[in-house]
Amino acid sequence: MESITYFKNLKIAPKKLRFLLPAVRKLSPLKAMDHLFYVTKKPAKILYQAIKSAMNNAKVSLKVNDDLLKFKALAVDEGFKLKRYNPGARGNAKPFKRRYSHIKIILETKEKEKNDRSSKLKTQSSKPKLKSENLSNKKINTKYGTKS
């Protein structure tokens, strides 16, 4: 099961938020929040709040504990861009864009690992044979007849 959370029109450039994504994607949501809490950048604070809100939404909608959640997708997209101008030399206007961003977080529950004894036995019995064992079992065709 999964929980989808969107955060739209955040007043920060997507490039600044994307800088933190590779480090956060690897972690579980709880560890990601711990990591972001101690990063002293504005994007870290915004991403921390977004993940915290997404986790609370998932806990209510999926009725699971924090430990059982993991990231399925974590994406930062571009929002709208406001076109603004700074005054330039000789009466010119220098354009710039104020960029906004959207965050999409999809959290899912972790699958519980099954401890099947039969699957362990299958993996142990299917070990690859050595070359010497393979050669001893095969008949070798030679020019003058077969060898066993």
* CB-CB contact of 20 with 43 (8 Å): yes
- pLDDT above 60: residue 117: no
Domain count, the chain: 1
The band of 111, judged by pLDDT with boundaries at 50, 70 and 90, is confident
Structure-block tokens of residue 36: 């972001």
**End-to-end alpha carbon distance in the chain:** 58
- pLDDT above 60: residue 118: no
Q: How long a stretch of residues is the chain?
A: 148
Domain CATH number, residue 21: 3.90.470.10
Q: Which of 47-51, 67-71, 118-122, 124-128 has the lowest mean pLDDT?
A: 118-122
CA distance 60 to 83: 40
Domain holding 65, by residue range, is: 2-110
* CB-CB contact of 102 with 7 (8 Å): yes
pLDDT recorded at residue 131: 58
CA distance 46 to 136: 66
Amino acid, single-letter form, for residue 100: Y
In a domain, 40, yes or no: yes
In a domain, 122, yes or no: no
* CB-CB contact of 39 with 20 (8 Å): yes
User: What are the phi and psi torsion angles at 126 (to 5°)?
Assistant: -95, 40
- pLDDT above 60: residue 96: yes
User: For residue range 24-53, what is the model confidence (pLDDT) as tens digits?
Assistant: 999 999 999 999 999 999 999 999 999 999
The band of 17, judged by pLDDT with boundaries at 50, 70 and 90, is very high
Average pLDDT over residues 87-113: 93
In a domain, 18, yes or no: yes
Percent of the chain with pLDDT over 70: 75
The band of 22, judged by pLDDT with boundaries at 50, 70 and 90, is very high
In a domain, 133, yes or no: no
Percent of the chain with pLDDT over 90: 72
Structure-block tokens of residue 91: 């009466």
The sign of the torsion formed by the CA atoms of 34, 35, 40, 45 equals negative
